[in-house]
Amino acid sequence: MTNPLLAEWNTPFALAPFDAISDENFAPAFEVAMDKARVEVAAIAENSNAPTFANTIEALEASGKALDRVLSVFFTVAGADSNPRRQELQRDFGPKLAAYSSELYGNKALFARVEAVWEARETLSLTPEQQRLLMLTHRAFRRAGAALTGEQDKRMRAIMARLAELGTAFTQNLLADEASWHMALSEGDLEGLPEFVIRAARAAGQEKGADGPVITLSRSLIVPFLQFSPRRGLRRKAFEAWISRGARGGETDNRAIAEEILRLRAERAALLGYESFAAYKLETEMAKTPDAVRDLLMAVWEPARTQAEADADTLTAMMRADGINGDLEPWDWRYYSEKRRQAEHDLDEAALKPYLSLDAMIEAAFGCANRLFGLEFTPMDIPLYHSDCRAWEVTRHGRHVAVFIGDYFARGSKRSGAWCSSMRGQAKVPQVQGAVVINVCNFAKGDPALLSYDDARTLFHEFGHALHHLLSDVSYESLSGTSVARDFVELPSQLYEHWLEVPEVLERYATHVETGAAMPPEMLERLLAATTYDMGFQTVEYVASALVDLAFHEGTPPEDLMAAQRDVLDRLGLPHAITMRHASPHFAHVFSGDGYSSGYYSYMWSEVMDADAFAAFEEAGGAFDAEQARALERHILSKGGSADPAELYSSFRGRLPGVEALLRGRGLAA
């Protein structure tokens, strides 16, 4: 019987036939596709014809497509619907992929051909996009160690293989800690919790096979529990379990893994001639240097900490009024902050959530994309990898653009957080059947599913990433969509969040899930007035994480991870009642792979641009100004990684932005 992962996909838009694929198909398909990729690469390296852009750079771009197809399916299900077999396969595939990458970039004959094309670049009459692809290909080989020889080359391969093993182990340990912990609640423990939290806790209890409601470590459940539960002891128990993920001792402890990752990254950078891993990693980003990153973060840190300390005094006074002495603790902040929000903004999240149903917010995200860019979304009834998933065909002026898949609900088999991925990117060479784009979130299930305002922002954020894929219009897949510098990739996603705050959007889509009534104007006014509420806390917990990430990768790797983390936070003067958003043992952005290592700052770097970019709409005809939408698509969203990000932004806005718009947007300006 033919392996469905290797067969032609005679499905709508050549989508993966999820209903025909079993876990037992992955390993054989992986081996066959890997062998095919090796043959394709060898043919390029051993070509007797003189190196050209077509027979070397474009040929490399076209190689490995069968392997890409197998892995696109595997990593989609492994991240969003894991099981023991898929985890075992991840552990097996990781080192093999690292070895394949080392073979590719360590192929001296292949590198010689790439180098020859690079040296002849001025004589080749390449298009700007071809010049960009050539530069990125040559740079990738150089940064992967293609010029290393002998023992250095051998050591680099060993480092990359070990890093692949460690990243997989870090991720799986975190998933295991999140899946294994829950806190049972008695009926009495539900006192003070709004109905949406009670429903989510009961649904979580059913999933866990418990006799009653439980609190899990899913952010969409534990955060509202910390906001609303009057039982301080339970809040503490839940919070301490949440922040101890990856640091509980035993087989799932990530501390030694993270320490080894940092040592190997530093050694990798040294082999390539860089003074630190941060210097190596930031070379290709907009920021360029660790000093530039630190300057940005510290410019925001001081006003944010000042605001947070003032807020802490207010919350401590509220706690005293409740008869509780001692310090305001991290498990107290969200509870008293929610009370303060209700008092100052008369904004009750339990009353707000019925106006923010999941279906309505999906419709809002689609509706804004239609008004701005003419995209239309039609539901599709097709087999997907989990019954929670939904799919839409995306068209424009009647022409197929892509398939968009949404996987919105938290479950034990899904890693935490939210992300956007592409199972197939847009490309013209060769012409493909449109992109396949997935948004994965971790919202609490309900009937109907109701979102917090933060959840709704997350939905818009991830859909902003999706738009970067959907509107991509480049020749080569490796340059399409979100294939951009890490500190530029969050611009489209964070920019799209602004449309959730546009009054006319909420007036149209924020309707009561039962009555259909629009959100009352006074509630809408209070909601928008509160968008910068508690921004001192939010900014401090984020910037603390970003500065720890930078410190870990800039200096000598720490021998004691947690001691080094404490040292950075003590020097910063982190307020007692605020913790890092992601403590190091569960800092998946940084330790599950290289993606955000030395790069967690990038959300804030992008926010500097998104605040300024949305101001362009406000300065023109408003949030739906057609000319600005066309400019945003033409200069940024359609370009992918086909040009330097600073050039792309400058072509859209006429200049690069300063930090002032960000501080104003966060309510932190002096």
Is the per-residue pLDDT at 577 higher than 90? yes
Strand 435-443 to 419-424 pairing: antiparallel
Count of other CB atoms within 10 angstroms of residue 513: 17
Would residue 326 count as lying in a domain? yes
Based on the fold, state whether residues 336 and 452 are members of the same structural domain. no
Instruction: Give the mean pLDDT of 470-476.
Output: 97
| Range(s) of the domain holding residue 82 | 12-176
Based on the fold, state whether residues 340 and 472 are members of the same structural domain. no
Catalytic residue numbers, as ranges:
462
How much is the mean pLDDT over the chain? 95
**Boundary residue ending a domain (443, 465, 483):** 483
Q: Enumerate residues 6+ apart whose C-beta is below 8 A from 132.
A: 479, 641, 642, 643
Is the per-residue pLDDT at 246 higher than 80? yes
Would residue 630 count as lying in a domain? no
pLDDT tens sequence across 398-445 = 999 999 999 999 998 998 889 999 999 999 988 778 999 999 999 998
* Cα dihedral 433, 465, 579, 552 sign: positive
pLDDT for res 670: 64
Based on the fold, state whether residues 31 and 168 are members of the same structural domain. yes
Q: What share of the chain has pLDDT > 90, as a percent?
A: 92
**Pairwise CA distance, residues 37 & 41, whole Å:** 6
Is the per-residue pLDDT at 160 higher than 70? yes
Based on the fold, state whether residues 103 and 89 are members of the same structural domain. yes
Q: Which of 432, 451, 435 is nearest to 443 (CA)?
A: 451
Packed helices 128-143 and 108-119: angle between N→C axes, nearest 10 degrees:
140
Based on the fold, state whether residues 421 and 371 are members of the same structural domain. yes
CATH code (residue 85): 1.10.1370.40
Q: What is the DSSP letter of 254?
A: -
Based on the fold, state whether residues 325 and 382 are members of the same structural domain. no
pLDDT tens sequence across 12-35 = 999 999 999 999 999 999 999 999
Would residue 626 count as lying in a domain? no
Would residue 288 count as lying in a domain? yes
pLDDT for res 450: 94
Q: Which of the pair, 658 or 582, is modelled with greater confidence?
A: 582
CATH code (residue 336): 1.10.1370.10
**Pairwise CA distance, residues 174 & 118, whole Å:** 42
- Cα–Cα distances (Å) from 302 to 145, 292, 299, 573, in that order, read 39, 16, 6, 10
pLDDT tens sequence across 358-396 = 999 999 999 999 999 999 999 999 999 999 999 999 999
Q: Is the preceding omega at residue 448 within 30 degrees of 0, hence cis?
A: yes
pLDDT for res 400: 97
- Residues in the chain, total: 670
- Beta bridge partner(s), residue 215: 183
Would residue 65 count as lying in a domain? yes
Based on the fold, state whether residues 388 and 358 are members of the same structural domain. yes
| φ, ψ dihedrals at 402, nearest 5° | -170, 175
Task: Find tokens 């552990």 and name the residue.
Answer: 91
Is the per-residue pLDDT at 446 higher than 90? no
Based on the fold, state whether residues 270 and 242 are members of the same structural domain. no
pLDDT for res 509: 97
**Pairwise CA distance, residues 25 & 29, whole Å:** 6
**Boundary residue ending a domain (483, 517, 546):** 483
- Could you give the number of structural domains in the chain? 4
Is the per-residue pLDDT at 489 higher than 90? yes
Based on the fold, state whether residues 225 and 272 are members of the same structural domain. no
Is the per-residue pLDDT at 346 higher than 90? no
Is the per-residue pLDDT at 499 higher than 80? yes
**Pairwise CA distance, residues 373 & 384, whole Å:** 27
Structure tokens, 93 = 């595939």
**Boundary residue ending a domain (463, 483, 503):** 483
Is the per-residue pLDDT at 167 higher than 90? yes
Q: What share of the chain has pLDDT > 70, as a percent?
A: 100
**Pairwise CA distance, residues 90 & 81, whole Å:** 13
Angle in degrees, CA 507, 511, 516, rounded to 5: 130
CATH code (residue 463): 3.40.390.10
Residues 258 and 593: beta-carbon distance below 8 Å: no
pLDDT for res 99: 93
Count of other CB atoms within 10 angstroms of residue 209: 7
Based on the fold, state whether residues 196 and 225 are members of the same structural domain. yes
Based on the fold, state whether residues 261 and 330 are members of the same structural domain. yes
Would residue 373 count as lying in a domain? yes
pTM of the model: 0.90
pLDDT for res 350: 86
pLDDT for res 661: 83
Q: Which of 107-121, 467-481, 521-535 has the lowest mean pLDDT?
A: 521-535
pLDDT tens sequence across 305-319 = 999 999 999 999 999
Residues 597 and 282: beta-carbon distance below 8 Å: no
Task: Name the pLDDT band for 665 (thresholds 50, 70, 90).
Answer: confident
Task: Name the pLDDT band for 268 (thresholds 50, 70, 90).
Answer: very high
